[in-house]
Structure 1
Amino acid sequence: MISASDLDAAELAALLAFHADAGVEWLLEDKAIDRIAEFEAMRAAHAARQGAADTAARSESGSARRTDNASGRGAQPTRREPAPVAPAVAIPDSQAVADAAFVASSARSLAELKTAMEAFTGCNLKNSARGLVFAEGNPRPAVMVIGPMPNADDDREGLPFSGRQGAMLDRMLGGIGLSRADALLTNIIPWRPPGNRVPSAAESDICRPFIERQIELAEPNHLLIFGNFSARFFFGGTQTIHQLRGDWREVVVGGRTIPAFATLHPQDLAAAPISKRLAWQDLLAFRAGTISSVDQSG
């Protein structure tokens, strides 16, 4: 087994980052413990206690039968009624989608929507996440930046695009003259899936009314969409981000048609740094498109 002392600082940092992204967030013990041996010992102790209890029960039962026989009464069998089990309550996906749509449409501001989403219980992802990760930034932005879902850093901080990926996004936006204060940053899925897994189709459907309502309330002029999941969510189909990136498309939300542009997610660039040149090309094209739009409207 590799010890932490065998790793240099960079390797140790990379290993800790890998565990954090995989959902490992707490170190429970300072020293390694053989959990298998510990479990076997606990099981043996439990078996010994159970055997002693069974012996005592048989002895007590024999004494009772002897007493009953001596008094002329037959032994009465003891009947134990099973404890009532509460049925598991599960909200059907279709009902959860309808509930989400109602909750979202009832909100008249981003603040109201955040409060409503914090109280919403129809998405199972909420049960494993630390909390809601809601939109941050300018509530009336020219550009709305949308990612797929919170990662471990977002979940800890309660803010979209946190940690190393957030720092990379800041540099990407800064390269085209944008900042967090200018844009509104958010995710399609507001609760972190366990282990950063891809949300299911049902989970995506339940969360759709929330992201669409955010767009309706913010009324951005343009959408900058990051990552494979996000691009498929808005544009449909099964193409990859490499096939969907770099072109302007249209997204219709709440009766408005909004120009949308997809590019690689900061996580994609961290995994494959060679793709940074593609992302830079996309960002330049996005900036040119937004400037052209402003000139035409002016």
Structure 2
Amino acid sequence: MTTVALAATDGMLHFELSLACEVFGTGLAGVARPWYRLSVCGPSAVRVGRFSLEPDHGLDRLPCADTVIVPGWADIDQDPPAELIEAVREAHVAGARVASLCTGAFVLAAAGLLDGKRATTHWAHTGELARRHPRVAVDPDVLYVDNGSVLTSAGKAAAMDLCLHLVRLDHGASVANRLARRLVVPPHRAGGQAQFVATPVPAPDNHPLAGLFPWVLQRLDHPLTVEDLARQARMSSRNLGRHFRSATGTTPLQWLLTQRIRHAQELLETTDDTVDRIAAATGMGTATTLRRHFHRTVGVPPDTYRRTFRSQTGPAGTDPAPIVDALRP
């Protein structure tokens, strides 16, 4: 997999495009020999954000590459260019390994490469990808998905996770670790993008549950039940469930668990509280219960999450948090 072609057209996200150029470009040739031969393929002139880019070759050269990288697509409300979709499809038919970064998954899906396959994209757009392409098994929780010849990554920094994964496949773990150290990033991140997803409370407006949401958030340390919530909202449990589904897309208990986990994340980031104390403060009861639900929901244990997300200044009056371990191979 020595030749890498970067598919570039107007509307690509410059962060993902630049990241791929950094990983597979000649600037890192000293990490391993031989390194990749990178070329940018696209129309005669490409507008990427505020920058203009002059491709090395046209899109018709994509099928000549061993690996084709499709960066993020800025405006997912518009269909990707037909010439890009066709070129990516032809590259795959020709035997190229095709990988999308962030919303580049919409290009792969439009080309039919994700039909019947598991795939991901930025968590903010997984619902739209699933709606627009129902034959794709969209996984909103992972950082990337490897289907062999077709790979997809979640948003932004997850593009680096996928690029390092490709290097690991081609050159082995040692080279991928060496590359990660050169780029000052973790060689492998535990968990998925669920740990990065914010879970805001629905906007109050005039919804029947408008007063219930803040009431619950002030009592997360209490052992609340569905009956407690229904009593506070002055409605039956069945009616409560119907309104919850309409407002949040989930059940009262699942929403409550999500809020408890989110509060636990905040406490792990901002305090020195033990897991036992955080379990009590979030209504989870015991550290064992918190660890089980936290790991299942976020994808990593509480201690790992704290090391990754703790502010470098730490809580007031403490030393900087120990986040360096997250960068060690």
Give TM-score scaled by structure 2 length. 0.26
Give TM-score scaled by structure 1 length. 0.28
Q: Select the structure that is richer in helix.
A: 1
| Greater radius of gyration (CA) | 1
